[in-house]
């Protein structure tokens, strides 16, 4: 699918509308005429820049169980709870 160039402010508005409507990245990408990968890349770039985009349906922050376990070890070794 051809990558569509879109202004960031328009992208953020569409992303927030998608969040309000409860749709996921796939549906948003279709709506924007973009591929899933292009839509996700823009989202990822904006998030890394500090834009507080809300999570869309089906997304969730990935927290590895290993990270929790390792942090528990760090806290235990440092005498923290």
Q: Given this model, what pLDDT does residue 29 score?
A: 96
Given a cut of 70, whether residue 5 has pLDDT beyond it is no
**What are the backbone dihedrals phi and psi of residue 52, each rounded to the nearest 5 degrees, phi first?**
-85, 65
Cβ neighbours of 43 (radius 10 Å): 19
The sign one gets for the Cα dihedral 8, 43, 19, 24 is positive
Query: What is the 8-class DSSP label of residue 69?
Result: H
pLDDT single digits (tens) 28-81: 999 999 999 999 999 999 999 999 999 898 876 666 667 778 888 888 888 865
């Amino acid at each position: 699918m051809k990558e569509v160039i879109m202004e960031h402010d328009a992208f953020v508005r569409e992303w927030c509308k998608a969040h309000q409507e409860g749709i996921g990245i796939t549906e948003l990408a279709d709506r924007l005429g973009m591929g899933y990968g292009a839509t996700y890349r823009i989202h990822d770039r904006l998030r890394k820049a500090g834009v507080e985009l809300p999570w869309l349906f089906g997304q969730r922050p990935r927290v590895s169980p290993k990270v929790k376990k390792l942090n528990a070890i760090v806290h235990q070794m440092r005498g923290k709870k």
